[in-house]
A = this chain, B = another copy of it.
Amino acid sequence: MATINDIAKLAKVSKATVSKVINQHPGVKEETKKKVLRIMKQNNYWPNSVARSLSTHKSYTIGIFDPGRLNNFFFREVFEGIERVCGDKGYDILYFTDKKWDGSWVDFGYTEISKNRSVDGVIMMGFGRVETSKFDALLASDMPTVFIDLDLVGKNASYVTSDNFNGAKTAVRYLCQLGHEKIAMITGPNGFKVARERFSGFQSVLDEFEISYNPDWVFYCQYQLEAGYEAMKKILKMREKPTAIFAEDILAIGAIRAIRDHGFSVPEDFSIIGFDDIELSEHYDLTTIRQDKYMLGVSAAELVLKIINKKNSAPVILKTGLVKRATCRRITG
């Protein structure tokens, strides 16, 4: 690979001059500029980005921390949005792997890892739990940071999220309007921020419709199909059963499978409404609340670039929408 020195010699100028044309600095005679550019083309030269990073402290790279390893129906779509924006702006993506040998990310610190690799900013996704202390250093640092679905702000940190509270309200309200008064909720771990917000929306609508809240009909579980399945099995064993269930998509799908496996059907016996609208949901004809995952990624990337460029860093909250499919029906009191 040719270096800036090679080009300088071939063009019979100093490397400083070459550097100036590369970076489009003014103060280079048009003639020599042309010449340098030509030599660069001829030698298929492109400045080495590592050396450049070392001296500019800028890498045109966005780091991503993602404990879910993309093994998740949700964040895969988010990733697409991030990729699109980064590509358009000339950034590549550094996906931080989870190193076993150094005690993993948390022990070493997100800030250190990011600075060490000289990424220009980081996106934190898939950290659902509400234990913000491990992010303290990052929030206090000057590393441009954007959290997805965790409303943390800091010196150079902000977040993007869907409007979980209102999305949940839309879901439950829809159920109520169809005549349901006995509504269960199967949701994520109690420690998860998004799960809490959705639960708040759920309760809020119950109040609104003056429906009494039954704690036996609320299930907290891991975000896995099997967990939704098990929760539904418990519901099926109750003497007093709900007529409708609100659950995040993957859990809703688990519930649907449990219902079918036990000889019941959807929506005849139970109405189900989801939250997320993951790809799988369409295959189950699941009525659900759609989160625009691609836009979540786009927004996160755009926001981190804004912070990098010292523009505003206001959090972004995305609207959700009701997607009516076939798992909810009207019931008559």
Contact = CB atoms under 8 A, between A and B. Distances in A.
Interface of A: 1, 44, 46-51, 53-54, 59, 61, 69-71, 76-77, 79-80, 83, 86-88, 90-102, 108-109, 112, 115-118, 280, 283-284
29 contacts: A1-B115, A1-B116, A44-B109, A44-B112, A49-B116, A50-B50, A51-B54, A54-B54, A69-B79, A69-B83, A70-B79, A70-B80, A71-B80, A83-B95, A83-B97, A86-B97, A87-B98, A87-B99, A90-B99, A92-B95, A92-B96, A92-B97, A93-B94, A93-B97, A94-B94, A95-B95, A280-B280, A280-B283, A283-B283
Contacts of A101: 88, 90
Contacts of A69: 79-80, 83
A54 B44 contact: no
A90 B99 CA distance: 6
B83 A87 contact: no
A76 B87 CA distance: 19
Contacts of A88: 99-101
Contacts of A87: 97-100
Nearest to A257: B283
A109 B46 CA distance: 11
A96 B62 CA distance: 11
Nearest to A51: B54
Contact of A117 (B92, B100, B109, B283): B92
Q: How many copies does the complex hold?
A: 2
Contact of A116 (B46, B86, B102, B118): B46
B46 A54 contact: no
Contacts of A61: 94
A41 to B, nearest CB: 12
A286 B71 CA distance: 21
Nearest to A117: B49
A225 to B, nearest CB: 9
A69 B297 CA distance: 13
A98 B83 CA distance: 8
Contacts of A80: 69-71
Contacts of A91: 97
Contacts of A51: 54
A280 B86 CA distance: 29
A31 to B, nearest CB: 25
Contacts of A116: 1, 46-49
Contacts of A44: 109, 112
A71 B70 CA distance: 11
B97 A50 contact: no
A320 to B, nearest CB: 22
A288 to B, nearest CB: 16
Nearest to A102: B90
B92 A94 contact: yes
A231 B260 CA distance: 30
A196 to B, nearest CB: 28
A80 B79 CA distance: 14
A305 to B, nearest CB: 13
